[in-house]
A and B are shown apart, each in its own frame.
Chain A
Amino acid sequence: MSRREIVVDPITRLEGHGKIHIFLNEKGDVERAYLQVPELRGFEKFVVGRPAEEMPQITSRICGVCPTAHHMAATKALDDLYQVEPPPAAKKIRELIYCTFMVEDHALHFYFLGGPDFVVGPTAPRAERNILGVLARVGLEIGREVIGLRKQLRDLITRVGGKVIHPVFGLPGGIAKALTPEDREAFLAGADRAVEFALFSLKLFEDIVLRNPQYVEWIRSEAYTHRTYYMGLVDERNRVNFYDGWLRVVDPHGREFLKFPARDYLRHIAEHVEPWSYIKFCYLRDVGWKGFTDGPESGIYSVAPLARLNAAEGMATPRAQEAYEQFYATLGGKPVHHTLANHWARLIELLYAAERMQELARDPEILDPHVRNLPAAIPREGIGVVEAPRGTLIHHYETDERGIITRANLIVATQNNAARIAMSVDKAARSVIRGGVVDDGLLNLVEMAFRAYDPCHGCATHALPGQMPLLIRIYNPRGELVRELRRD
């Protein structure tokens, strides 16, 4: 039988070397596209024997882009491990730092990575589909604002965390140091700037994307749609929360399917192994693994911005709530199954994080110097959860009575999305490659299928402008190279 294969390798906006392998049938249509992740460093194993209190700093080395997420999930697992409640000020400072981190991280994705697909456009000349193209479209002044805002926010994290890449503030029962009045002023200024920035970014999205019928059609297109379950952390009123709450899962119809504390995650989340990728694929234990397929019978679920909005009933801050309502009014009600809507959802979350920064920094209690409660309990087991920018993140440790790790399990954000991302790449490839026709437009359309999730395979670095270099080689059945497409 005549077969052709398309290998997309390397895809360099992922940490490590993600690879897409597409098999075509004799008609040149896609039989199946595989997204492979060749990442494994074995953190879950080599943390065994380390003292639990070192976990916030050791596990942050899983990801230098979202170290604050791992640091915080680990710190919360330590609270649970030692059964110690942090003082109110410590909780508020943790959440303040966390929201600051969410703003700078989401801003990075929208302007540097995902945004170019929309702000510049999927059909724009490929040399312009990057941050420079974004700047050409929106102006250099905005570019300076993106760089300047990120620097200001990252400096705020450094003030409290010692370092922004691999911070050190988290301890069981609190944080390592209190906030000074000067720190608070700096956070207030940063928060105000972040809110303005978020509102501007949403306006930009509205002007450039929502007023363009073709873009809206893309967002709604079947090629980028999967009807799965969605998971996210919610507060007591089922509103999105990044720092704490209950894990809420809605079914593909948007109905509440599960709501549970992170402590019960083992009852509901399981991991599936495939021989062709190092990533493990999470699914809902309650539904089961039915292969790479969507719908209510399949346990595949999704996390990250779109999933968080779907899994919640609203936002906890006023302007973000307005944006949330507009989102669903525009896209036809809940839940939204369109993968590309992640970009819009991400900006709504950015606004929420900025507004929440303001609330927390204005709270007088945040200056209370009492930021540590010393642990007294004998440690045994601790579970911590946060919403990382890229989705639900769970750290689970077991220790001996001295607090030395004896077993660890980590459910990392992109793992929750791994199955849906794999389906998204497959479906996009099937939709755009027909009759063996491949061109440059294809490259970006396939990329967009996973880029919307802001995937972090292992610990992706989403750094500077530039296109993902793509190389597609087409071989004949004898393994001879017949065509090579590359984006230079």
Chain B
Amino acid sequence: MSKPKVAFYWCASCGGCEEAIVDLAEEILQVVEAVEIAFWPVALDFKREDVERLADGELAAAFINGAIRTSEQVEMAHLLRAKARLLIAFGSCSHMGGVPGLANLFDREEILRYVYEEAPTVHNPQRVRPETRIEVDEGLLTLPAFDEAVRTLDQTVEVDYYLPGCPPPVGLIRSALQALLEGQLPPRGSVLAPDVALCAECPRKPTKPERLALKDLKRPHQVLIDPQTCLLAQGIICLGPATRSGCGAACIQGNMPCTGCLGPTSRVLDGGAKALSALASLLDATEEAEIERILEGIPDPVGLFYRYSLPASLLHRRAGNGRRVQEGRTR
């Protein structure tokens, strides 16, 4: 029997998801033994044409990381969707939009203007901008255009599974590959990570009070963080209660709070809203002034609660900044 074919592809990403695969270290050799990698631009020599030549459904699976911002990324997502029996959104950007999704708080024009005209080191009296078609002395050059906003993969094509995390923890990657090879996958649409909150696997769980009553919130730089005690009990916002487990509480092991990169559990529609409401119920205050004082500890609620998920959220983009992207979720 021939080996199943898989593809890896990146869109608007940082390269961390590719490094996460490399961090399988010697295990990557076992992966190469078990599957045939038919496409992986970062590592192998196959081209888009090679993918186009495949029969529809010929790929057992395609893993796509990165968010969607350019027309080329849209085309590649559609192409791989057609060729793959299973499409897996790999990592926070593909899953929920990721950190670059915070760009949806700004217009495309605001971004271009700042980067090419207003940044303090820029010297650009002619206000030159990168253009999609440029006549130079020798001929015509082209550049890809950027869409108005960042989208998730499943706002672009239908997605079968999600491998969450920024980047996905090596353990989850290993389990997902095993499940795929053994045909032991959960129902389509599942997130391939434990469906319980991070607190369940947090080493500081024993120090989490039965009922939290926060009279004060601290930003991480304002206090010395005790390395043993539940961060919420220390008055530091930790998104562990509203975030999936599966990372081994990596950031908390680094003595810093969870920032929610694995996204919410399956019972939550909007992770940021859930985290916000969970937090509100923990505040030990009734007077408005007192509540306001406590909330000074959260100076950037959108950046805190939607750090990795703004494009996937019900907010999607900041209200009132022009056209809202019309494509809805296809699922």
Contact = CB atoms under 8 A, between A and B. Distances in A.
B130 A277 contact: yes
Interface string A252-283: 00000000000001100111111111101010
B22 A51 contact: no
B219 A176 contact: no
B97 to A, nearest CB: 12
Nearest to B98: A61
Which of A51, A151, A158 is packed against the most chain B CB atoms within 10 Å? A51
Nearest to A279: B130
B143 A461 contact: no
Contacts of A374: 221-224
Contact of B47 (A10, A285, A375): A10
B280 interface: no
A46 B121 contact: no
Interface residues of B, number: 84
Interface string B125-139: 000111100101111
Contact of A409 (B72, B121, B302): B121
Contacts of B134: 275-276
Contacts of B100: 41-43, 46, 61
Contacts of B223: 374
What DSSP secondary structure best describes chain A's contact surface? loop
Report, as a range, how many residues of chain A touch the other chain.
35 or more
Interface stretch (A205-213, A317-325, A347-355, A462-470): A462-470
Contact of B254 (A176, A266, A488): A176
B319 interface: no
A337 interface: no
Interface stretch (A160-168, A193-201, A358-366, A444-452): A160-168
A275 B255 contact: no
A190 interface: no
A38 interface: yes
B313 to A, nearest CB: 15
A285 B296 CA distance: 41
Contact of B42 (A12, A164, A471): A12
Nearest to A130: B45
Contact of B19 (A47, A50, A461, A486): A461
Given A275-B129, A404-B300, A162 B123 contact: no
A386 B4 CA distance: 44
A214 B206 CA distance: 66
Given A272-B124, A461-B42, 17 more contacts: A13-B42, A15-B10, A15-B14, A21-B141, A36-B141, A44-B114, A46-B111, A65-B14, A161-B254, A162-B251, A162-B252, A165-B167, A166-B16, A273-B116, A273-B124, A280-B122, A466-B45
Interface of B: 10, 12-23, 25-26, 28, 40-48, 69-70, 72, 98-100, 102-103, 105-106, 110-112, 114-116, 119-124, 128-131, 134, 136-139, 141, 143-144, 146, 166-167, 219-225, 227, 250-256, 259, 296, 299-300, 302-303, 307
Interface of A: 3, 5, 10, 12-13, 15, 17, 21, 23, 31-32, 34, 36, 38, 40-51, 53-54, 57-58, 61-65, 67, 78, 82, 144, 147-148, 150-151, 154, 158, 160-169, 171-173, 176-177, 265-266, 269-278, 280, 282, 285, 289, 372, 374-375, 396, 402-404, 407, 409, 411, 459-469, 471, 486-488
